[in-house]
Structure 1
Amino acid sequence: MKKPKLLRKSEKDVFAQTRNRLTLFYSTILTLFLAAFVALALFVFYIVVTNDQDQTLRILSDREVNMAERALDGSGGAWREQERRALTGNQVFYYITDVNGELIINNDDHEELRELYLDVIDGWLTDNIEVKRVEIGIPENDPFLEDFSEMDLEVMVLARPVIHNGERIAMMYMAIDNTFYSSMIKWVVLIFVSIALVFAVVGVALSRWMSKRALEPAKEAYNLQKEFVSNASHELRTPLSVILSAVEALGMEVDKSNPFKEKMLGTLKHEVKRMSGLITELLALARSDSEQAATQLKKERFDIRPAAEQMIESFSEYVSQKEICLKLVAPEQLEVAGDRDKLIQLMYILTDNAIKYTPAGGRVEIALEQHNNKKQCEFVLSVSDSGIGISPEDQKRIFDRFFRADKMRSRKEGGYGLGLSIAKSITTAHNGEITVESNTGEGSVFRARIPYLAEASKTMHPSGKALNQIL
């Protein structure tokens, strides 16, 4: 069966998560370094430009305040009339006010903007030198300021007192045009940030390449280990089968009057079976790791209800010994699409796992459902139990290989910590997902969702009846 386009996904790389983490780590380091460099460069540039403007303003103010103080009449402290001087360089205005704020001397570049300039210094009194930046907003609808409506004006203003005989007798205000430097700073910031973003993108690409190169040795070692597990598991199956056959043959001829020999053969037979089970699970995992695992699935449409009933029957003796109620909830007919053997194995794994961790007198329920829409169907397998439950910490690792939440119970029940890993690999190969919901001491619910195209499945039996089979 051709893989549906909606479900077609690239094979998940076992190292994808590690590679993404390394990429994130490298990218974060490079980005932080780049951001620190850009921030430091912009800060230094800003300080240099600001200090240069501030120094220029202070030098001009020193000259002007000396001239203002010399203009005072020594006897009365009155101001002499000063010649109107032209403003120097990028100077915007030069004002002197008395202690009451009345303008004594004024000189500005544009008389039309004087009211806006005076608003800047209104009520500004200080006993020291103060400097601040002010952005002057020019009204757009004022006809007298029509020629300045499109002007962006930012000034650096200095205020300092004029002292005579130890007393402040006036205030001097001076401003220089800072628009050009402010615009230059904005452009420099924009250019630096743009360059930083470009380098950040390059850094992410470089980080991904570096993480790929860093994982190559580990990936090669993993592939060698995977190949070894596959080959070893395959080679060990035959001798273990021979040993098991020999043990069974010896068991038929053993002297029943010799309990020691009978016990030893029983133990040997049990351990060989356990080893065979481990080899089978390792071989299943090795095959699921293969890059062709998804393409090797035998996609077919089949009714999964009979297989579930047969599974219930096969567990009947086991659950009777443990006094567990095993219940199947499923429609009378439920046709799904997928690998028949793999999906049945998935049911067996989840059911066996639930029975193992459910104490005597407990219950295990297997629910089979089908969710349909116009384009896609979904087969949902849920296995719930009233067992010991799984802690939130263990739930994060429950599908890891060889992980066992309760190691003592797992050894007693004969588990190797591989069943749920195989269940996850089967679900992943079908482009599905498997989840667990559990609380310690309250049981668990494992739920596997297997999607497939609607055309690949028939609808549920017309009766729509869900039949329950209970053991």
Structure 2
Amino acid sequence: MDIELKLKGSWIDWRRADGDLFAMTRNRLTLQYSGMLILFLSLFIIVVYILLYGVIWREQRAALGKIADSEFQVLKQWIEHGGDSRRPPPREVEDAFLISNDQSFYYLIGDGDNVQLGGELQSQLREQVMHAVSLGLFEKDDYTQISMQTFSGGTAHDAQFLVTARELVLNGSQSSTLYIGKEVTFQHNLFRWLLILLVGMALLFFVLAIWFSYWMSRKAMVPIARSYARQKEFAADASHELRTPLSVLLTSIEVLQLELEESAADTPLVNNILSGMKQEVGSVTNLAGDLLQLARSDFGELVLSRSVFNAGLTAEKVVDRLRPLAEPKHLAIELDAPAGLMIEWDEEKFAQLLTLLVDNAVKYTPENGAVQVRLADMTVKGERILTVEVKDNGIGIVPEALPRIFDRFYRQDKSRTRQTGGHGLGLAIANNIVSASRGTIHAESVVGRGTTFTVRLPL
């Protein structure tokens, strides 16, 4: 069974992907640095908050528990010495219970919610505590934080209370329960404001972390940028310097070929050598030109020279020029372009872009195949767009290679390099041309069935 591998590639927006390589790297480093700093700061703030929360509330519970234990022991001793827990305790037991800042209320509640002993800072608390008891909100032998209302100057205020409950047991059965509570509104508000303060400090530190990370990433990119600039200058200078001697060599070879033709000497070996030399010199000349153009684009020197021209007519000239390359493989190059398609763009770069895409399609399409070139004019969100589509039925591109086809010197199958020719720079140059116009390029491929390149150029 044939397995169809198909990848409908993603649009590559060169305004983002190739606009500024160092800016992208710097932003990535900034995100990494700031991400680590923010993570550590967040963990630090969380740990500090949890530790403070645990320590303070543990102290509050311990203080309340100490009072509850002391008063509970008084009640327990009274019962053990013959006291009746179903009746109110005597005065000496009641004197052991004091209302203070550490004890806002206490209630000894027997069967039927009968208050046998009680006291509070404000009388309004008793009704609220009894309501909470009836709802079963307080855990026995544990601590419960509950919201109730206090009154000051006739105005009600929300307050927080920490309550503990202890059971009195007589003859193995519960006889009454002691409820003791203290107001912890200050501690509750303290942690609320502490949380707000920590969040505010965290936001401030996050901004500082991002700024510091950006500064660090800029410092880290300085030597890399300098080295990269030197490499680009070297590539540009070397490519420029190579073109002159290569042109001289090419001219010399052509003169030698002309001399041999005029001498009428039958020297097929020399002719073959000269033809091979001419082909290799031409290949190196093209490589030097491609490297020079890429170096110029790296320096931002690739600028479109706009003029009004007939895109269909220019495309027809490109196709006619490339048909001799397709004839040995019996390939058909078909052009579909609207008549009188006038655009304002760089005609030379448009022709070069078409040449690169069509030449690439011819190289990777087997014999008796077809290459289709289609131009379309459309309007997207009020902006005029020229769509260029080059489709072939060649060998296709495997999914893992598709994301890299625009990389410089990348070849999907390096063993085919000598067969197809080129140096793996054509698509990289095509992308630079697209980038100069803030356009997009899209690759769609089915292995064994062909590839479609779609370019959208804003006009």
TM-score (norm 2): 0.87
Equivalent residue runs for 1:1-400 within 5 Å: 12-72=19-79, 74-75=81-82, 77-78=84-85, 79=87, 80-82=89-91, 83=94, 85-98=97-110, 101-122=113-134, 124=136, 129-136=141-148, 147=154, 149=156, 151-163=157-169, 168-254=174-260, 257-294=266-303, 297-372=304-379, 376-400=383-407
**CA offset digits 1:94-149 (Å, max 9, x no partner):** 122236654322222332232321233336599962112223479xxxxx999454
C-alpha spacing 1:266/1:137, structure 2 compared with 1 (3 Å): farther
Alpha carbons 2:386, 2:458 under 8 Å: kept: yes
Partner of 1:463: none
2:128 maps to amino acid = L
Query: How many corresponding residue pairs?
Result: 436
Choose 249-258 or 169-178, whichever is displaced more. 249-258
Aligned to 2:11: none
2:125–2:149 contact (8 Å) kept in structure 1: no
Q: Judging changes above 3 Å, is the alpha-carbon distance between structure 1 residues 405 and 375 closer, same or farther for their aligned structure 2 residues?
A: same
SS in 2 for 1:218: helix
Cα displacement string for residues 180-211 of structure 1 (whole angstroms, at most 9, x for unaligned residues)? 11111010110111111011111111111111
In structure 2, C-alpha distance between the alignment counterparts of 1:125 and 1:164, rounded to whole Å: 24
Paired letter, 1:48? V
Q: Which amino acid aligns with 1:234?
A: H
Letter in 1 for 2:189: S
Q: Contact 2:246 / 2:281 at 8 angstroms: preserved in 1?
A: yes
Alignment check: 8 A CA contact 1:305 1:333 kept: yes
Q: CA deviation at 1:406?
A: 2.2
**Which letter does structure 1 place at the counterpart of 2:288?**
I
Q: Give RMSD over aligned pairs.
A: 2.7
Instruction: Output the amino acid matched with 1:173.
Output: Y
What SS class does the counterpart of residue 388 from structure 2 fall into?
A: strand
2:138, 2:163 within 8 Å by CA — same for their partners in 1?
no
Letter in 2 for 1:301: V
TM-score, normalised relative to structure 1: 0.85
Give 1:424's match in structure 2, choosing from 402, 419, 431.
431
Q: Distance in 2 between matches of 1:58 and 1:310?
A: 95
In the other structure, the counterpart of 1:435 is: 442
| 1:394 to partner: Cα distance | 1.9
CA distance in 2, matches of 1:170, 1:315: 103
Partner-residue secondary structure (3-state), 1:270: helix
Q: Give the % identical residues.
A: 35
Contact 2:397–2:446 (CA under 8 A) maintained in structure 1 = yes
Judge conservation of contact 1:126–1:161 (CA < 8 Å) in 2.
Answer: no
Give the distance between the partners of 2:272 and 2:323, measured in 1 at CA. Answer: 26
Distance 1:397 1:374 in 2: 30
Task: Identify the range of structure 1 (408-417 vs 22-31) with the bigger mean alpha-carbon deviation.
Answer: 408-417
**How far 1:217 moved relative to its partner?**
0.6
Amino acid of the structure 2 residue aligned with 1:198? L
Q: 1:184 to 1:256 in 2, by over 3 A?
A: farther
Look up the equivalent residue of 1:262 and give its one-letter code: N
Q: What residue ranges of structure 1 are gaps of 5+ in the alignment?
A: 1-7, 139-143, 453-471
Deviates more, 1:361-370 or 1:307-316: 361-370
